[in-house]
Amino acid sequence: MKLIIAEKPIAAKRIAAILGKPKPVKKNGVEYYKLEDSVVVPLKGHVVKVDFPKQLNNWYKTDLIELASSPLEYSVSLKSIEKVLKSLARKADEVIIATDYDREGESIGKEALSIVLGVNPSLEVKRARFSSLTPEEVRKSFQNLSEFDENLADAADTRREIDLLWGAALTRFISLSSRRTGKQFLSVGRVQTPTLALIVEREKEIKAFKPKDYWEVKLKCVKGREEFTAVHEKEKVFNEEEAKKIKAKQFKEAIVVRINKTKQKLSPPTPFNTTEFLRAAASIGFQPLKAMSIAESLYMKGFISYPRTDNTYYSSIDFRKTLKMLSSINVFSGLCKKLLEKKKLTPTHGKKKATDHPPIHPVSKATPSDLSKEEWKVYELVVRRFMATLAEPSELLSVKAVLEAEGEKFIARGKTVIVQGWKEYYPYSKTEEEKLPELSEGEKVRVKKLEVEKKQTKPKKRYSLSELVRLMDKLGLGTKSTRAEILQKLLDRRYVSGKKTLTPSETAFAVVDVLEKHASEITKPEMTSKLEEEMDLVEKGKKKKEEVVNESRDLLKKVLAKVNAAKESISNQLREAVRSDKVLGKCLECGNNLMIIRTKKGTRFVGCTGYSKGCRVSFPLPAKGIVIPLNKKCPECGLPMVRVRMPGRKRYFEMCIDPNCVSKKDWGKKSENSNRSSEKHS
């Protein structure tokens, strides 16, 4: 009998249905599938956990250097699956690992192998590798089984052990130093912290920015019935006297002194790898972790290829076959037929070429009725990107008109899409057109109005999730598989807040500042990217897991020695920052701070720090949920506003802290996704 091991229940069910006529069997609460000569058993991701010995689990009594030196223990976390695997392994003569083919999937497969080989060492081990759960690819993978890759699994376990060591030791140090433990502990991570440092550094630049005054000078011109705007050749006039002199002039007409027309070709986008997919998903409203979750669901259901890939080169995809399949979906029918009319389909490609999985692309037909609204939105994004990579370039006509009036030169610009090309297939990338009337050199136009507006230069914008995903990829922070979880963790830990752009909290500033001062290694991307290189060597068999982990242990011990030496000053800075993050605003009665206060019983309320001076202003807070200051005032009463995210729900409430305020009627009208990372440390 062949024992086939899949990564998740939905994958096991699909694989079994593709390979034969499965008979579901339930044992110890685990449903698996019997076929004629084999059985397909699902895991639930990792079935083995790695942790410290139990005697080191007490945060308050464990020496951190001892923690960094401690051996790590692997133990089965899902006993019901272990029992089923052992029972079936005793009857089997061959085991086939059919988990996702990447480092994490190989590590999960290795865990299952340790269980089944423990009871039946004579089992022949094989590996099924596939990039989509379509019947054609799954059957092909089982007809061409390969060897299990121990090195690939070791590379994943190297990361797992190092992330646990660094995350546990530094998280305990920072949390204990700040006295913020329990559910609200402060986490530190090998990838998480340098990513947070990027956000904090950008915020420091914004706060340090000193705006400069400038004047924007525009002419509102008219030709016939068409109006257009021409901007002074100095887009920003920084000299006030110069701006006043221009404003004093009488502009009645302007002469067109030069016309430049240029055609510009915009190449189609490259195929989706994980990074570009997450960026595109963020641009249409999905947080990275949510986007990955939906993509994984579509993959498991057999609609798209494996969503964790660095590859931007299509290799063995039959484009015409895929387009014919997509043409049976009404919304894509016309677009697919247009592509199929081309004699040759030549796709674009990016810089990254890998051999494990192709770029993310559609592999089977889905309709809106087959999927949830969110799934369809992501599926459509993937389909449209695929079509766009096969389409023609888009063409723009850019017009630059130089006008002269009263000795001053002004520039009018026009932009028109003359060939839609790939933009017809991929509407997420829009070109803002600017219409100009047909102008010719020497022509005079009437000036309707002169506008001189005082403005100020602006700092760089805060990072968006989309920008951070790309920056993390560029700096080697995390992997295609972990970046979404890291960004979500920063939100969940309340280090940052925001939906479109990310703003760091005072606690985030303090954590980054103390680590930069006393252990800068953990805030820089170099250490993390260096480890990625080390794991590549483990994957290639050029370095052993134990060697890389021990090198990282030695570095961690040096960092812990540094922060321990400055423990008191670090503690003071962190505690002050945590306290600042509890300040909601000013008391309207006495002017002191209104803060979130917790009682010994665990309840909480908003109280005034002027209590010792006789101020008794206080407001209740909801008993459950995470309270996040919004740093804005209620438009009705002027008191601070907060956001309350309820546990286990995809909703939040924005509310005034006064429960009697009329703004309370707005509770519950807003919602957002609230994803929780299942990882313990990062």
**pTM of this prediction exceeds 0.85:** no
Instruction: Give the integer Cα–Cα distance in Å for 332 and 328.
Output: 8
Instruction: Please write the tens of the pLDDT for every residue from 211-234.
Output: 999 999 999 999 989 999 999 999
Distance, CA of 365 to CA of 298 (rounded, Å): 11
The answer to whether 646 touches 624, Cβ cutoff 8 Å, is yes
Give the distance from CA 178 to its chain's centroid.
Answer: 28
pLDDT recorded at residue 458: 95
Instruction: Specify whether the CB–CB gap between 131 and 101 falls below 8 A.
Output: yes
Q: Judging by beta carbons within 10 Å of its beta carbon (0-12, 13-18, 19+), is residue 369 exposed, middle or buried?
A: exposed
Regarding whether 94 and 6 lie in a shared domain, the answer is: yes
Residue 663 is predicted with a pLDDT of 54
CATH code of the domain in which 118 resides: 3.40.50.140
> Of 33, 101, 299, 306, which one is the catalytic site residue?
306
Residue 618 located in a structural domain:
yes
Start-end of H helices in 506-566: 506-518, 525-539, 545-565
263 plus 410 within the same structural domain: yes
The answer on 568 and 452 residing in a single domain is no
373 touches 237 (CB < 8 A): no
Q: Phi and psi (nearest 5°) for 28? A: 55, 35
674 lies in a domain?
no
- Whether residues 93 and 186 fall in one domain: no
| Exposure on the CB side of residue 206, measured as CA atoms within 13 A | 13
- Judged by DSSP in three states, 151 sits in helix
Q: Are residues 498 and 381 in the same domain?
A: no
Close Cβ partners of 81 (under 8 Å, ≥ 6 residues apart): 30, 41, 43, 44, 47
Q: Using alpha carbons only, how large is the chain's radius of gyration in Å?
A: 30
Residue 118 lies in a domain: yes
- Judge whether 504 and 465 are in contact, CB under 8 Å: no
Same domain, 137 and 245: no
Q: Is the residue at 358 inside a domain?
A: yes
Tokens at residue 46, please? 């990792």
306 is catalytic: yes
DSSP 8-state class, residue 110:
H
Residue 306 and residue 250 share a domain: no
Tell me whether residue 562 is exposed, middle or buried, using C-beta atoms within 10 angstroms of its C-beta: 0 to 12, 13 to 18, 19 or more: middle
pLDDT computed for residue 647 by the predictor: 63
* Cβ-based neighbour number of residue 613 at 10 Å: 9
Tokens 């498991």, located at residue: 300
CATH code: domain of residue 325: 1.10.290.10
Closest alpha carbon to 298 in 365, 199, 226, 231: 365
* 474 and 433 fall within a common domain: no
182 within a domain of the structure (yes/no): yes
The domain boundary residue, chosen from 525, 552, 576: 576
**One domain, residues 200 and 217:** no
Helix ranges (H only) for 448-524 are: 465-475, 483-492, 506-518
Whole-number pLDDT of residue 113: 97
Residue 651: the pLDDT is 61
Residues in the chain: 682
What's residue 679's pLDDT?
32
In this structure, are residues 399 and 261 in contact, taking their beta carbons and an 8 Å threshold? yes
Which residues are CB-neighbours of 97 under 8 A, at least 6 positions away? 5, 106, 109, 112, 113, 125, 126, 127, 128, 148
Residue 9 to residue 111: CA distance in whole angstroms: 17
CA gap 8, 569 in Å, rounded:
47
User: Residues in the chain with pLDDT < 70?
Assistant: 182-184, 355, 647-652, 662-682
Residue 498 has what pLDDT? Answer: 82
What's the structural domain count of the chain?
Answer: 5
Which residue in 347, 276, 357 sits closest to 311, CA to CA?
357
Task: Point out the domain boundary residue: 512, 542, 576.
Answer: 576
Is 343 a domain residue? yes
pLDDT in tens, 560-597: 999 988 888 888 888 888 777 778 888 888 888 898 88
130: amino acid identity, one letter: F
- Count of C-beta atoms within a 10 Å radius of residue 343: 4
Residue 375 lies in a domain: yes
- Report the side by side order of strands in the sheet with 2-6: 23-27, 30-34, 38-42, 2-6, 94-98, 124-127
Do residues 529 and 637 both lie within one domain?
no
Q: Which domain holds residue 632?
A: 582-666
3 state SS for 282-348? HHCCCCHHHHHHHHHHHHHCCCECCCCCCCCCCCCCCHHHHHHHHCCCHHHHHHHHHHHCCCCCCCC
Please say which residue of 521, 553, 576 terminates a domain: 576
Residue entry with tokens 């020496």: 63
Amino acid occupying residue 529: S
| Cα(283)–Cα(276) distance, integer angstroms | 11
Q: Are residues 98 and 175 both part of a single domain?
A: no
Burial class (CB in 10 A: 0-12, 13-18, 19+), 490: buried
Same domain, 189 and 227: no
Q: What is the DSSP letter of 450?
A: E
- Are 456 and 652 in contact by the 8 Å Cβ rule? The answer is no
Region for residue 78 given its phi and psi (left: phi exceeds 0; alpha: psi -120 to 50; beta: otherwise): beta
**In angstroms, rounded to a whole number, what is the distance separating the alpha carbons of residues 505 and 574?**
12
Tell me, yes or no, whether 52 lies in a domain.
no
